Amino acid sequence: MREDVLRINHVTKKYGKTVANQDISFFVDDGEAAVLLGPNGAGKSTMIKCITGLLRFEGDIEICGKPNKSLEAKRMLGYIPEVPAVYDLLTVEEHLEFIRRAYRLEDDGYAQRLMERFELWDKKDKLGKELSKGMQQKLSICCALLPRPRVAVFDEPLVGLDPHAIRELKEVFQELKASGTTVLISTHMINSVEETWDVCHIMMNGAFAATRKKGESAEQSLEELFFSITEGGEGGAV
Amino acid sequence: MRPLRYLAFTTMKNRLREMVKKPARLIYAIVLLALLVFTMIGGSHTGGAGPYHSMDGLTAIVLAFYTAMFIMTANAGFSRGGNIFNLSDATLLFTAPVRPQTILFYGLLRQMGTSLLVGFFLLFQYPNLHNFYNVTVLQMIALLILYGCTIFLGQVVAMMLYAFTSHDPRRQKLCRVVFTGVYALCGMWLAARCLPFGLDDIGARAAAQAAGKFLYAVPVGGWLSLAAKGSLVGDWGLAVQGVGLCVLLTAILLRLLFRMDPDYYEDVLKSAEISYSAISAKKEGTMREALPANVKVGRTGLRGGWGSSAFFRKHLLENRRSRKFILPANSLLFAVITVIFCVFTKDAGLLPTFCMASYLQLFSAMTTGRFNYELTRPYLYLVPEPALKKLLWALAETMPSMVLDALVIFVPVGVLLRLGPTEFLAAVLARVAFGIVYLSADIAVQRIWGGSVSRVLVLLLYLAISLAVMATGVALALVGGLIWDFGAVGVLLLTVVGNLPASLLVLFLCRNLLEYVELSSR
C-alpha cells in the first residue's frame, strides 16, 4: 500500500498583507510525480519554499510523517532551486564531497555514480563558475540527490536551459519516479512535464484552481484547462 | 548638454520624491543632519583652550588617509576601470547623439557629488579635530571637499589606467609596477628619514618630514594634502599649488584619454556590465563575489569537516582559491591609521590607542566573510544540523582574520609603546572579543531586517546593537578602571569578560536565522 510521503495541510503564506498561498492542502504518494502548474506569480515557488522549510507559514507540512522543519524531514528532502545552487570556487567533485560531509554520509561511491550518470565525471575538476547553466543545473541536481532523498522538489527546473538539457532533465524525472523517489515540480511550461506528471495542480492567485489526475477522463486536455483558467475562463475543479 | 542637464535634475528630483515616499530615509536624513549639527555645535564649544597639537601631525594624518584612498580607488583601473557610468548610461547615453566628451564631463561631475556624499561621515570627526588641532568648521569642509577630489581623481586615474592597459597584459604589468613603485619609494624615503633615529619622538619626526617638501613628491594624495595644509595654516599659496597640481594632472589625463582613445565607451561598458551583474545578482539573492580572472585550483578536496563543520572547511578552501588577502583593504587602512594615532598619543599609554582601534573596528568589522555569500545558497538552511551549530561553524572562518587583524595592529603598537607580553596578549584578546561583538551585531541586523533594507538604516541599527552588546563590557571596564584602578591589563580583560557572553547570547538568540531563508533575503 502506498503512503503519503508529502502531506501539505491548510498552508497559508502571507507577505505582509499579500497572500501568496491561501489555505492549500494536498498530498503526494510514494513514488508519485506531482506538478504545480501556473503562470508567473501564481504562488508555486512560494509553496515549494514552504515545503523545503525555507519560509515561515501557517498550517502543517509533513515529509514521511515528520514536520518539515525537523532534522529527520530535512534528511529526506532534496531541493533543486530555480537558480542553480553552485559555489563558484568549488570543483564539481568538491561540491559532492561537501554535501556528503555536511549530511554525514560515508563515501560509498554514489557520488561518482551520480557524476557519471549526469555526464559530469569528466568535468569533476572544473570549478562551479566554469560550468554552463545546464551543467550547473545538473550539478545542483546531483547535490540534491546525493543524500538519497525520499522527496525531490524542483522549482522551475527548465528555465534558462537549452533543448538538449531540457530533454535530459525530463529523463531524470522519469528515472527518479522509477527509483521510487517522490517528485514535486513547479513549472509554468506545460509541455515540459507532459510525460512525467501523475497529478497536476493548476494554481492561480495563490490557490489551487483545478486538480487533475493522470488517466482521468475529462472533456478538456490539461493545456485547454490551464488556458481556460489562466486566461479568465471558467475552469474549475476537475 | 541640455539632455544631460535634464537627466541630472530629474534624477535629483526623483530621489527627493522617493525620500518623501519612503519616510524612513527622510527620518534617517533628518536624524543624521541633526546629529551633525549637534556634533558641530557641541564640538565648537568643547575644549578649544589649547595647547593644540602641531598642524604637521594633522597634515601627516591627512596625507596617509588621502593617499590610501587614492591608491585603493585608482588601483581598480588594473582590473575593471572606474565606476563612473552605470549600465543605463552605457546603453542610453552612449548611443544618444551627444558628444563623448560631454558625457564624460557629466559622469565625472556626478562622481564628484557621490564622492562628497560618501565623505560626509568625515564631518563627524570635527569635535576631535577642533579639540586637538583647533580646526574650524570651514577648514573641516575644506578637508571634506579635498577628500571628494581624492576619490574623483582616483576614478579618473582608474579610468585612464584601464583604457591604457586593459588590452595589453605586459603594459598592465609595467604600469602596475610603476604605480606601486612610486608610492613604495615615497614610503621607503620617509622611513629612511625617520627610523635611524630610534623610536623616541618618531611621531613628531615623521610628521615634520611628511608635512614638508615631501608632499610635493607624493602624487595626488600629497598634492591634495598640500592644499589641505594650506587651508589649515592659512597659507593660500600652498593651497593654490596643491590644487593647481591636481587640476594640471586632471587636464593632462583627460586630454590623453581623448587623444589616445576617444572611443572610451567599450572600456566603460565592460566595467558597467560587471557592476550591473553584481547588483542584479544581489537583488536576485545570488550574490557573487569578485574573483580573480584565473582561479588556481591547486590541491582539491575539503580534507575534513563533518556535519556543520563541513561549512568551515569549505570556506577555508574557497578563501585559498579566491587568493584574497585574509584581511580586507579597509582593515589594513584602519590598522595604519591606528598605528599613526599611537605614534601621536604614545605618552597616554595603551588605552587611548585601543579605544581608537575599537572605534575604527566598528566600521571595518561589518563583513562576515563568506557567511553573507552562504546565506544566498540553500545548503546552509537545508543541511540537517542544529541551526546554532551551523551558524557558529559558518562564522568560524572569520576567527583567523580577527586574530590576524589584532596582531597587525598590536605588534607595531606593542613595539612603539614597549608593551610587555601580558599587556600585548590582553590587547589582542580584547580586540578579538570586540570583533565578536561587532560580528554578533551584524548577525542580529540580518536577523531583524534581512538584506533588503537601505544600507544606511542597516548601519544605524548595527551601531545601536553594537553599543548595546558592548555596554556590559564597557561598563565593567569603566568600573574596574575608575573605581578599582585595575590598570590597562585589568580594564582590557574586563571588556572581554563582559563582551564575550553578551555576544554569544546575541548569536544564540539569532540562531533561527538559518531556519528561514526569508529572514536573510527579504
Query: Does the CB of A112 have a partner CB in chain B at under 8 Å?
Result: no
Q: pLDDT at position B163, please?
A: 74
Q: Mean pLDDT of all residues in chain B?
A: 81
Residue B292 lies in a domain: no
For residue A87, list chain B residues with Cβ-Cβ distance below 8 A. 314, 318, 377
Of B32, B19, B232, residue with least CA distance to B140? B232
Chain A and chain B share a number of CB contacts under 8 A equal to: 95
* Structure confidence at residue A113 as a pLDDT band (50, 70, 90): very high
Whether the predicted pLDDT of A236 surpasses 60: no
* Structure confidence at residue A61 as a pLDDT band (50, 70, 90): very high
Q: pLDDT tens digits, residue range A73-106? A: 999 999 998 888 889 899 999 999 999 999 999 9
Residue B360 lies in a domain: yes
Query: Reduced to 3 DSSP states, what percent helix, strand and coil does chain A have, rounded to the nearest 5?
Result: 35, 30, 40
Alpha carbon A29 to its chain's center: 14
Same domain, B260 and B315: no
Residues in chain B, how many?
522
Phi, psi torsion values for A9, nearest 5 degrees: -125, 105
Residue A88, amino acid: D
Quote the CA–CA distance of A70 and A74 in Å, as a whole number. 6
Same domain, B324 and B272: no
User: What's the domain count of chain A?
Assistant: 1
Same domain, B252 and B334: no
Quote the CA–CA distance of A23 and A18 in Å, as a whole number. 14
Grid cell in block for residue B368: 562576515
Same domain, B476 and B349: yes
Grid cell in block for residue B470: 558592548
For residue B303, list chain A residues with Cβ-Cβ distance below 8 A. none
Q: pLDDT tens digits, residue range A150-190? A: 999 999 888 777 788 788 888 888 888 888 899 999 998 88
**Domain of residue A12, residue span:** 4-84+149-230
Q: Where are the alpha helices (DSSP H) in B287-378?
A: 309-322, 329-344, 350-364, 371-375
Same domain, B369 and B482: yes
Residue B41 lies in a domain: no
Residue A102 lies in a domain: no
Same domain, B355 and B206: no
* Structure confidence at residue B315 as a pLDDT band (50, 70, 90): very high
B44 in Cβ contact with B131 (< 8 Å)? no
Name residue, grid cell 544540523: B385
* Structure confidence at residue B375 as a pLDDT band (50, 70, 90): confident
Tell if the CB–CB gap between A129 and B517 is shorter than 8 Å.
no
Q: pLDDT at position B521, please?
A: 47
| Terminal Cα distance for chain B, rounded | 40
* Structure confidence at residue B82 as a pLDDT band (50, 70, 90): low
Same domain, B403 and B260: no
| Listed range (A169-178, B79-88, B215-224, B246-255) with the worst mean pLDDT | B79-88
Grid cell in block for residue B171: 603594459
| More confidently predicted of A75 and B133 | A75
B106-132 average pLDDT score:
77
* Structure confidence at residue B12 as a pLDDT band (50, 70, 90): confident
Q: pLDDT at position B451, please?
A: 56
Kindly identify which residue of chain A lies nearest to residue B381, measuring between CA atoms: A54
Grid cell in block for residue A200: 497536476
B224-232 average pLDDT score:
90
User: What's the domain count of chain B?
Assistant: 2
Strands A4-15 and A58-63, sheet pairing: antiparallel
Of B460, B444, B463, B465, residue with least CA distance to B25? B460
Q: pLDDT at position B1, please?
A: 60
ipTM of the complex: 0.86
Tell if the CB–CB gap between B383 and A103 is shorter than 8 Å.
yes
Tell if the CB–CB gap between B314 and A75 is shorter than 8 Å.
no
For residue B379, list chain A residues with Cβ-Cβ distance below 8 A. 85, 98-99, 102, 143
CATH number, position A213: 3.40.50.300
The region, left, alpha or beta by phi > 0 then psi within -120 to 50, assigned to residue A64 is left
B9-24 average pLDDT score:
80
Same domain, B313 and B241: no
Grid cell in block for residue B116: 562628497
* Structure confidence at residue A237 as a pLDDT band (50, 70, 90): very low
Q: pLDDT at position A234, please?
A: 45
Of A139, A153, A203, residue with least CA distance to A183? A153
B227-249 average pLDDT score:
90
Quote the CA–CA distance of B193 and B209 in Å, as a whole number. 8
Vertex A127, ends B390 and B166: CA angle to 5°? 115
Q: pLDDT at position A2, please?
A: 56
Tell if the CB–CB gap between B302 and A143 is shorter than 8 Å.
no
Kindly identify which residue of chain A lies nearest to residue B303, measuring between CA atoms: A97
Q: pLDDT at position A207, please?
A: 92
Query: pTM to 2 decimals?
Result: 0.72
| Listed range (B180-184, B187-191, B273-277) with the worst mean pLDDT | B273-277
Residue A236 lies in a domain: no
Residue B36 lies in a domain: no
How far is the CA of B436 from the CAs of B58, B466, B467, in angstroms? 32, 10, 13
Crossing angle of helices B221-233 and B137-165, rounded to 10° = 170
| Listed range (A7-11, A165-169, B163-167, B277-281) with the worst mean pLDDT | B277-281
Reduce the DSSP state of residue A25 to 3 states and report it: strand
Of B44, B105, B67, B119, residue with least CA distance to B257? B105
Secondary structure element (H or E) that encloses residue B506, with its range: helix B487-509
Quote the CA–CA distance of B56 and B343 in Å, as a whole number. 13
Same domain, B343 and B260: no
**Which of A72, A101, A129 is facing B305, going by the closest CB pair?**
A101
Q: pLDDT tens digits, residue range B417-436? A: 889 999 999 999 999 999 99
Q: Where are the alpha helices (DSSP H) in B347-486?
A: 350-364, 371-375, 379-382, 387-395, 398-417, 421-449, 455-478
Same domain, B256 and B318: no
Q: pLDDT at position B46, please?
A: 65
Q: pLDDT at position B367, please?
A: 59
**Domain of residue B203, residue span:** 46-278
For residue A125, list chain B residues with Cβ-Cβ distance below 8 A. 297, 300
Q: pLDDT at position B522, please?
A: 41
Secondary structure element (H or E) that encloses residue A193, with its range: none
Q: pLDDT at position B244, please?
A: 93
Q: pLDDT tens digits, residue range B253-300? A: 888 877 765 455 666 666 666 666 655 555 555 556 666 667 788 888
Grid cell in block for residue B455: 544600507
Vertex B243, ends B191 and B263: CA angle to 5°? 100
Phi, psi torsion values for B450, nearest 5 degrees: 70, -155
Q: pLDDT at position B274, please?
A: 63
* Structure confidence at residue A235 as a pLDDT band (50, 70, 90): very low
For residue A74, list chain B residues with Cβ-Cβ distance below 8 A. 382-384
**Which of A71, A90, A102 is facing B318, going by the closest CB pair?**
A90
Say how many C-beta atoms besides its own lie within 10 A of residue A194's C-beta.
12
B206-216 average pLDDT score:
81
Quote the CA–CA distance of A14 and A26 in Å, as a whole number. 19
Residue A205 lies in a domain: yes
Alpha carbon B329 to its chain's center: 7
Classify the C-alpha dihedral A150-A155-A156-A157 as positive or negative. negative
Same domain, B410 and B508: yes
| More confidently predicted of B199 and B82 | B199
Same domain, B160 and B232: yes
Residue A10 lies in a domain: yes
Residue A129 lies in a domain: no
Vertex A227, ends A226 and A233: CA angle to 5°? 105
Name the domain boundary from B278, B294, B315.
Answer: B278
Residue B79 lies in a domain: yes
| More confidently predicted of B505 and B455 | B505
B364 in Cβ contact with B331 (< 8 Å)? yes
Name the domain boundary from B278, B295, B330.
Answer: B278
Query: Does the CB of A69 have a partner CB in chain B at under 8 Å?
Result: yes
- Whether the bond into B127 is cis, omega within 30 of 0: no
